[in-house]
Every structure is written in structure tokens, then in C-alpha cells.
Amino acid sequence: MVSPVVLIAASLGFAFLYPLVERLGERAATRIALLVLAAFAGTTAGWTVSLIGSGVALTADTAGFVAPLSIQLQVTAVDALAMTVVTLLALAALVQLTERATDRWHGKQVVLFFVLLLGSYGLIMTRDLFNVFVFMEISGISVFGLLSTSRDGRVFEAGFKYMVASGLASVFFLIGTAFVYRSVGSLSIADITAAAPVALASPVGVMGLLFLVTGILIELKPAPANGWAIDTYQAADPGIGALLSAVNATAMVFVLVRVMPILAGASPVFVPLVLIAGAGAFLIPQAQALLQESFKRMLGYSSVAQIGLVVLAIVIPAAGVPFAGVALAVPLVLLLNHAVAKATLFWIADATGDDASGFGGSLPASLRGRPALLVVAAIAVLALLGLPPFPGFWAKWSLVMGLAAGGHIGLLVVVLLGSLLEVVYLGRWLIMRMRHVDDDATVVSQRIPADFAESRADAVSGAASGASDASGAAAGAIPVGATVSLGLATLLMAGASVAALLGSGVGMPVLIVLIGVAAFAVLDVLRIPLRLQAIVAIAGLSWWGVSAVSGAALTLQSGFVLLFVGGAVVQLVALLARPGRRAGLVALIVGMVLSLAALTAATSPLEVFVAWELMTLTSFFLVVRGRFAAAASVRYLTFSLASALLMLAAFSLATAANPAFGTGGGVIGTLTTSVPWAAVLLALSVLIKLGAIGLHIWLPSSYAEAEDEVSSLASSVLSKAGILLLFLGAGSFAAPLFAGVALNQVLGWIGVITALAGGMMALFQEDIKYTLAYSSMSQLGYMVLAFALMSHLGWVTALYLAVNHLLFKGMLFLAVAGIVMRTGTRLMYQMGGLIKRMPFSFVSVLVGIIAVSGVPPLAGFGGKWLLYTALIEQGWYLQAALALFSSGIAFLYLFRLIHSMFLGQRKTHHDTVTEAPAAVLIPQFVFLVIIIAISMFPNLLIKPLQTIVEPAFASSVRWEGYTVISSLGYWNGNAVMYVVIGVFLAPLLWLLAVKGRTYRVEQFNIVFAAERPHTPQSTHYAYNFYGHYQKAFGRLLDPWVERFWSGVSATAGTVSQTLRAWNTGNPQTYALQILLYLFLTYLVARGGL
């Protein structure tokens, strides 16, 4: 095996030789440099393989002595792995760097680059304290040198600050080293570690170690003493930034890893000290990054934050499922995940030349129309956010589990909060890059032209244009070098992800999600048209769904699989109406459906969470495709991931209390926890996903601004995930929480208020998709209410409502999709009179709204009957009354919907509108037939649902023929249907018999106070249809929730503003901050003043 010394020597040697090599010509020299790097990579990879196999470390002593006299270099498997990744990233970085370098700097840059590499290797391998200092300085000097090659003139200022700070850090480190040496008499880390409990436990020793660790921490750029580092990231060329973040920082972390045993041995104060430092370093920059206007600076904040997280992970023994038992696996994976992702992002900033960040319509949509780059960027961002299937996810999971298991609740909060902030700014960046060029990223509610003018262009939904046509962003060619670097990094990430995924122990369903997405992504790459993809997806999903449930008994799991897969398959037919290609659409839909299915099949909390996250991600990328969905998808991502993080917290708390938590899977009550807080967090998480009142502000715009087919899927299928989770966690909610009030009672009230508020808000929407979105919110409220009853009838109702909602909301959204497709507007008052042009759509909407509003004889009434019976049975009288009231409200907005679109006056320019395409109609009529069937024969649906609920509750209703009888009342859907047919036919026949000659006249042939109507626009009563309702309720209808969240957002902004003002840009301030940091560590170590 190659000795570690060789690597150091080779780096140094090559750096010195490079000027000679350069004489061979620039290209040749670059190639040789790359070859050398490749050889390094081969070496380190070789080490990794053999060391993992053997499990021992590779040691080399220099200068012919043995330790402690000599400087010892040592490589463990972890080190080797890190070095491999660092080398590979360096390889990628070199490609990128040499291409971007100016002539003036070219050769020198390579030399400095190799010196930096040398320093990094050294930092990782050395086991000598002073040698650490040397390598630190070597890295530092090479970084300063590299910095000065940047194009941005401000880099000197930044570099100067860096030098001051790094100089101070060196001083601390040296002082510390000196103290340690004085106390121990050796510089070998192994010796010091051994001697630490005795020799360094004295105040002097601790003082020395304090200097030492502060020096190391400063080098790790911990907030709040890291302004200089941020400035550097901002000013440096992105390539250099990538090196700094990926290579240098990674190596520095290893110093801490080396020193940690010494610290831990010397004094118990150091572990909390480093934990606090790590927590601060993680949380503060996340907050500071919120308002950044420079992407590089934002990445800088993110980098330092990530290192903070790694520092935390180094200290906390992780107890989660993945990588259990492998020492340092969590920090290492976090670190490497960060290194690769961050380098990628820096290179993307370089490739697109786009250094803007923040949120606003003027920002460039620089990734639009560059699918490959977008995928790479998305992977990097997701990996950085610690989302599955990227390695960081598993590490974060373990870390959080470890935190909970260790009882570090405060740190848990810090990690989750920091992660959420990171989601906000990184997600925002990604969304702004990939948004449609027309989108000014302000759309979170309906848009109505100020003059009520008919303007087609304005209101055309995203669906009308699609993603593929958008190429407004000037897509300059990406340099070859960047392509190679990004490709390499992405491959690295992909490989790591696959490895981590396979090692994580998650089951097949989760893997199938990824395989599905990947398969359809391949179809996209092969430029297969959308229709073909849709057919493949329909066939595949049908086959998969059938094979998943065939033969299985009807349980919650198979029931929901049927619901998810069946609902999605039917709606996928609508995609056949869209010609051309839509990159990613089918892949993401398939991914979403499969992840929903995976959710049902999950057998451990980890699997549940992975499936949940995958569902969130796929749906997020579906939502963001909408033409004006930027602002909406920011909300969607933020709230969805907040929900996920809450769930993570809940799971970690529950697992900490009960290691057997959540194993089993797919049955009611799997996720039952007896920890009250875990139950509350779980409920909150689900409530966010269900758009419960107060947490709903993401829902309307996300559903409405997504593409039309996506809206339909999201509203009808996706929204049921929350319901599934409620059932999975069912047992958690019944236990009394405080003052004898159980969580389910709170849930019930939240449910009914959501139902009412959603309906109220739907009343006043002009935009049809917003109406339906709010309607979904309201309907989900009903489901929560029914579920919260915790009774047999309640649960049957919840499931019944879920099925019913899937059917009618799918129908309505698809019908609306067809109408929007044909009329080119989403504003209801711009439609009207379409019944004659689109009769089939009308029938579908009519049946849909009858089903929603619960008017007998259609199936909706079954849901209402069950609901009120269940509510009154449980003594929830007021809830029952409120639910009935909101069902009246539902009737109102639904009538408005059908009236404004189909009845009233048809606009002259809609005279030639044709019926929606068959592909859009077919799924609607499939649903319609199902609705009619279960209306005629309610037992077809209710009985299976009873079977599903049976394991939890004994049946409380009985059947007599078609009559379902509860303790309160009865309902015979079949008889009602016949009576209705009877009472309908009798008057109809009478009318046909007695009516005189009937003339079919047009809509303008109305009595109009002896005038004639002027134009259809001025005759169609649709705008502000329920103005009087608004008037009656007055201030009650003010957007309180919106205001609250705006307040939260503004507060976060203020906090961020305040925090970032700390980084004044003055090196002297920074120096002072570093001194204060030292003082602070001293205070923490002392345990206060």
C-alpha cells in the first residue's frame, strides 16, 4: 500500500514541479495535473477499500523516527473515505478552475491548488499537534493565494480579513499548543489523548485546551465570529469558494475530530462547549442567510452552518437506524454530503453567472430551460437540505434520533429550526431560478385585472403553456469544464446516495419510488412524448397497484393504495390531452403516487418519514411547474418541510421513549405514541399537511397555481396522505393531554373550524382554482373532524369523505382543467354560459357539486349523514351544527362556481369554444359512474370501509337491505334514489304534457326593464357574487392568518437583519468578535461569569 507520506510528498513535489511541467504547454500541463489528481484519487480510494476491509489504520512516521519524536501520519478508513471524496471534488474543481482561470493566473493557480490539497491531506492525516498548525497555515496561505486570483476586486479586502482572523486563530492554536506541550511534553495527539485526563485536567491545561479548541473553532468559521469568512465567500470566485467550502473546511473538521478525545478526556466542560458552539454555528448563519442578496454570500452562510451541524454530529453519538454503530459515520456523511453539494452550487453559480439571491420578480430565472443544470442544482439543494434519497438525509435522521435519545431537546429544536430556515432560503433560491420567466413571484392569491377587463394573456394558467416552452432566460452555453465538474460531483452524489440508500435498510416500496422516478426521467431524456409516457405510467401504475392489493385482505393499507393508485391512474388519462413533451411531469407524478403507496407500506418510522419526504419533494416539484407558482411553491416547500420536520421531531421523541415505536406498519395505530409532545407534534405535522386553519396559507395558492392536472392530483389524491397518517398515528390522539382535554377533541374543533373557514374563503374567490383549493381545505377539515371522533362511525365517515372527496374533487378539477384549456381564463366572471358549448363538462361539474354539497340522492349525502349521525352520537352537538352550517356555505360557493362558469351569459368570444378533449372527460366520467354507483348502493362503499375500521372499533351501525341504521337514525340510499327519480319524473311528464309551444331562445332574450342587454360581460352577474355575505360578516372575514404569517415572516426578516448587521465588514470588528468568542468559550467553560 502507498504510504501516506507519498501523498504529501507527491502533492508538494508536483506543486514545485508544475512550472516545469507547464513548459509542455498549458493543455498538457493541465492534463498531467489531472492525471496526478486521478492517481491521488486512486490511491485514496485504494486505501478506503482496503482499510474498510481490514479495519486497521495505515500509519507512517516521518524522518526515520517513531512517534512521538517523529511526526506521525495516519489514515483510518474514515479518513481515507474523506480524502477520496476530497480528491474527487478537487479533481472536479481543478477542471472547473483551469477553465475559468485567467491567463495571468493559470499556472500559479494550479501550484496553489496543489499546495492547498497538500495542506488538506496533511490536516486529515497528521497526528501531530504542531504539524496541524503547519498544515493549517499551508492551507491558509494557499487559500490566500488562490483568493487573489479572483476576478472580483473586493477579494483583497476579504482576504485581508481572512488573514487577520486566521492569524488570530493560529495564535490561539499556538498558545494552546504551547500550553499542551508544556503540560504533556509531547505533540503527538495519541500521547496527548492518553495523558489528557491527568496532565490536562489542571486549570492551566484546560486554559490551554480552551485556546486550542477556540483556534480550531475559529478556523471552522463558527458563527457569530465568522463575518470574515462570509465576506470571503462572497468575493471569491465561485470555484475558489467551492474549494474553500468543500476541501478546506472538510479537512479542518478532521482537526476537531482529532482533538475531541483530548478535550473530552481533559474536562467535561468541553463537550457542552463544542455542542453550544456547534449549535450557534448552525443556527445563527441560517437566520443570517435569509435576507442575502448575493448567492455566494448565502452559500457562505450555508457552508458555515453546515459545518456547525457537523460539529454537533461529531459530539453527539448518533442512535438512529442508518449507520448505527459506525463511528463518525454521521458527521462524515454530513460533511461529505455538504462538500459535494456545496461545491456543486458554487459551480452552478459560476456556470450561470448568476449571483443573485433572495426573493423577487426581478431575479433571473437562470435555470429555466436548462434541464440538466436544473437537475444538478436541485440535487445539490435537496442534498444540502438533508432530504432523501441523498446521504445527508440519513445522517440527519440519525443525528436527530441521537439528539432525542440523548435528551438534547434544545439542540433538537436548534437543528430543526436551522433546517427549516435553510429550507426557506435555499428552496427560495431554487424556486426563483426555475420559475417561469413571466412569474414575478408575488402570486399567493387570485389575480384579478384592475379594470375587470377580459385579458387572455393575463389569466392563462400555467397549464396552457407548459414547462418546456419557457426559455426566456438567456441560456448561455455552460463551459465544458463546469459540465465535467458538475457531472462528476453529481455522479459522486448519486453514487453516495445509492450507497447510503442501500445501506439504510429501507424497504422495497421506497426504492420503487426512486426507481420509478428514475425510469421516467430516462424516458424524458430519451425525449419520449408526454402521451406515451402517460400511457406507460397508467399501465405501470395499474399493474403495480393491482399486484399490490390483489389477494390482500381489505385493510387500511390496501384501501389507501387503491385510493392513491386508482385515483391517480384515472386522472393520468387526462394527460393524454396534452401534446408534446413535458419534461419531468410524468416522472414526478409517478414518484408522488409511488411515494404515497410507500407511505402505506412503511414498516418503520424511518420508512414512513422517507416516504413522506419523497412525497413532499415530488409534489413540490410538481407544484413549482406552474406558470405563476413561484411564491406559492415557496410557501408549499416551507410548510411541507416544516411539517416533515415536526414529524421527524415527533418520531425522534417517540422512538427515544419507546424504541419499538412505529415498527409494524400499514395498520391503524402503527405510529401510536404515548409521549404527549410527540403526539402533539405529529398532529401538528399532519394538520399542516391537511391545511388546517392557521396552517393553511400554503394550500390555496399551491393547489391553484400548479398546472391544472397537478392541481387535480394534489387536491384529490395527495391531500389524503395526511388522513392516512392520522389513521396510522390514531392511538396517539385519544389520551388526555392537559386538564382532561384529549388531543382528538382539539383536532375536532380544528377540523370543524377549518371546514367553516375554508368554505367561507372559497365563497369570495373569483378564481375558480382558488375556489376549489379552499374547498379542498374545507373538505379536509371535515375529514379531520370525523377522524377526531375516534368512533367507529366517525372513522367510517372520515374514510367515506376521503373517497368521496377524491371522486368529486378529481372530477371538478379536471372539468375546470378542460374549461381553462378551452377558455383561456381562470376567472369565473370571465366565463359564463358555457353549458351549451361544454355540456359534458357541465354534467360532470353538476354531479360533482351535488356530491360535494351532500344534496341527496347522490353519494355526498351519505358522507353528511354519517358525519352528523356520528357527531350527534358522540355528543358533539355544536360541532355538528357548525359542520352543517359550513356545508351550507359549501353549497353557496359550489353554486357560484357552476353558475358563473356554465350558466348566465356566454361571452361572444366563447361562441366557438368546444367541449373539453375526450382524454379530460374520460376520467371525469369514470368518477361520475362510481359516484352514481355508490349513491345507488351505498353499501358498496360503506361496508368495505367498515371492514377497514373493524380492527379498531366494532361496528355501530347495522344494515337492513339497503338501509343503514345507526343508533340515531337511518338512511336508505337506494330508496331515496327511487323516490327522487319518481318525484322528478312525475313533474317532468306533467310539464311536457301541459306546456304550450316552447321556443328555445338565446341567453340575450331576457326581459331587461324594457331595454336590451348591452354585452354579455355587463349582463353576467358573477363578479363578487356574495358581496352581501362579505358585508354581513365585515371584519370577521379579514385575513387574520395571512397577517399572522406575514408577521412571522417579517419578524424572521427583522431577526435576520439584526443578526447579519453583526457582520460589519470591518476586520477589526471581526477581530474583536473573535476575541469575544474566545472570552465566551471561556465563560461557557467556566460555567458562567
Within residues 795-834, the interface with another protein by CB under 8 A covers 833
Angle 743-763/768-788 helices, nearest 10 degrees?
A: 160
Q: Does 911 sit near another protein (CB under 8 A)?
A: yes
Cα-Cα-Cα-Cα dihedral sign, residues 661, 665, 669, 671: positive
Q: Is the peptide bond before 224 cis (omega within 30 degrees of 0)?
A: yes
Nearer Cβ to another protein (191/524): 191
Nearer Cβ to another protein (57/965): 965
H/E element holding 958? strand 958-960
Which of 895, 953, 959, 1082 is close enough to bind another protein by CB under 8 A? 895
Q: Does 1019 sit near another protein (CB under 8 A)?
A: yes
Q: Does 171 sit near another protein (CB under 8 A)?
A: yes
Q: Does 997 sit near another protein (CB under 8 A)?
A: yes
- Least Å distance, CB 894 to another protein, is 9
Which of 102, 442, 674, 908 is close enough to bind another protein by CB under 8 A? 908
Nearer Cβ to another protein (960/1087): 960
Which of 31, 108, 836, 943 is close enough to bind another protein by CB under 8 A? 836
Of 79-138, which residues contact another protein (CB under 8 A)?
Answer: 130, 133-134, 137
Q: Does 64 sit near another protein (CB under 8 A)?
A: no
Q: Does 1005 sit near another protein (CB under 8 A)?
A: yes
Q: Does 163 sit near another protein (CB under 8 A)?
A: yes
Of 228-247, which residues contact another protein (CB under 8 A)?
Answer: 230-231, 234-235
Q: Does 174 sit near another protein (CB under 8 A)?
A: yes
Query: For the chain, how far is it from start to end, CA to CA, in angstroms?
Result: 53
Nearer Cβ to another protein (551/740): 740
| Amino acid letter for position 693 | I
Burial 836-857 (b: 16+ CB within 10 A, else e): ebbebbbbbbbbbbbbbbbbbb
Q: How far is CA 952 from CA 559, 562, 628, 927, in A?
A: 15, 20, 44, 29
Stretch of 55-63, 90-98, 442-450, 983-991 contacting another protein, by CB under 8 A: 983-991
Nearer Cβ to another protein (280/938): 938
Q: Does 224 sit near another protein (CB under 8 A)?
A: no
Residue 478 corresponds to which cell in the numbers above? 455552460
H/E element holding 73? strand 72-75
- Least Å distance, CB 858 to another protein, is 10
Report the residue count for the chain.
1089
Q: Does 844 sit near another protein (CB under 8 A)?
A: no
Contact indicator for 221, 284 with CB cutoff of 8 Å? no
Contact indicator for 821, 464 with CB cutoff of 8 Å? yes
Which of 448, 494, 536, 980 is close enough to bind another protein by CB under 8 A? 980
Which of 478, 752, 801, 898 is close enough to bind another protein by CB under 8 A? 898
In degrees and rounded to multiples of 5, residue 1011 shows phi and psi of -105, 175
Which of 450, 738, 999, 1035 is close enough to bind another protein by CB under 8 A? 999
In degrees and rounded to multiples of 5, residue 469 shows phi and psi of -80, -15
Which of 1060, 1080, 1084, 1085 is close enough to bind another protein by CB under 8 A? 1060
Q: Does 151 sit near another protein (CB under 8 A)?
A: no
CA–CA dist 1013, 148 (Å, integer): 75
Which of 844, 1017, 1063, 1081 is close enough to bind another protein by CB under 8 A? 1063
Q: Does 181 sit near another protein (CB under 8 A)?
A: yes
Residue linked to cell 402505506: 600
Residue linked to cell 362503499: 941
Nearer Cβ to another protein (464/884): 884
Nearer Cβ to another protein (491/878): 878
H/E element holding 59? strand 58-61
Stretch of 18-26, 269-277, 745-753, 977-985 contacting another protein, by CB under 8 A: 977-985
Q: What angle do CA 885, 448, 1023 make, to 5 degrees?
A: 50
- Least Å distance, CB 856 to another protein, is 5
Q: Does 742 sit near another protein (CB under 8 A)?
A: no
Which of 169, 889, 934, 948 is close enough to bind another protein by CB under 8 A? 889
Q: Does 148 sit near another protein (CB under 8 A)?
A: yes
Contact indicator for 604, 556 with CB cutoff of 8 Å? no
Q: Does 983 sit near another protein (CB under 8 A)?
A: yes
Contact indicator for 319, 401 with CB cutoff of 8 Å? yes
The number of residues that bind another protein (CB under 8 A) is 132
Q: Does 454 sit near another protein (CB under 8 A)?
A: no
Residues near 983 by beta carbon (within 8 Å), at least 6 away in sequence: none
Helix (H, G, I), strand (E, B) or coil at 959: strand
- Least Å distance, CB 1016 to another protein, is 7
H/E element holding 1021? none
Which of 53, 1028, 1088, 1089 is close enough to bind another protein by CB under 8 A? 1028
User: Using CA atoms in the order 271, 274, 276, 281, what is the torsion angle rounded to 10 degrees?
Assistant: -160
- Least Å distance, CB 1080 to another protein, is 17
Contact indicator for 165, 218 with CB cutoff of 8 Å? yes
Of 952-971, which residues contact another protein (CB under 8 A)?
Answer: 963, 967-971
- Least Å distance, CB 1062 to another protein, is 9
Stretch of 88-96, 224-232, 488-496, 733-741 contacting another protein, by CB under 8 A: 224-232
CA–CA dist 822, 809 (Å, integer): 20
Q: Does 905 sit near another protein (CB under 8 A)?
A: yes
Of 184-203, which residues contact another protein (CB under 8 A)?
Answer: 187
| Amino acid letter for position 621 | F
- Least Å distance, CB 391 to another protein, is 32
- Least Å distance, CB 746 to another protein, is 18
Classify strands 736-738 and 72-75 as parallel, antiparallel or unpaired: unpaired
**Per-residue x/- mask for another protein, residues 855 to 874, rule CB under 8 A?**
xx----x--xx--xx--x--
Of 765, 777, 779, whose CA–CA distance to 901 is shortest?
765
Q: Which residues does residue 736 pair with via DSSP β-bridges, in sequence order? A: 742
Which of 677, 840, 885, 953 is close enough to bind another protein by CB under 8 A? 885
Which of 952, 1029, 1037, 1082 is close enough to bind another protein by CB under 8 A? 1029
Q: Does 65 sit near another protein (CB under 8 A)?
A: no
Residue linked to cell 469575544: 1076
Q: Does 167 sit near another protein (CB under 8 A)?
A: yes
- Least Å distance, CB 571 to another protein, is 26
CA–CA dist 72, 49 (Å, integer): 22
Helix (H, G, I), strand (E, B) or coil at 906: coil
- Least Å distance, CB 941 to another protein, is 17
Of 588-647, which residues contact another protein (CB under 8 A)?
Answer: none
Helix (H, G, I), strand (E, B) or coil at 965: strand
CA–CA dist 572, 532 (Å, integer): 11
H/E element holding 823? helix 792-823
* Alpha helices, DSSP H, located in 267-390: 270-289, 295-315, 329-352, 371-384
3-state secondary structure labels for all residues of 830-897: HCCCHHHCCHHHHHHHHHHHHHHHCCCCCCHHHHHHHHHHHHHHCCCHHHHHHHHHHHHHHHHHHHHH
Q: Does 840 sit near another protein (CB under 8 A)?
A: no
Which of 4, 107, 119, 140 is close enough to bind another protein by CB under 8 A? 140
Contact indicator for 343, 89 with CB cutoff of 8 Å? yes
Residue 167 corresponds to which cell in the numbers above? 492569524
Which of 388, 545, 818, 1067 is close enough to bind another protein by CB under 8 A? 1067
Which of 749, 925, 1004, 1082 is close enough to bind another protein by CB under 8 A? 1004
Q: Does 979 sit near another protein (CB under 8 A)?
A: yes
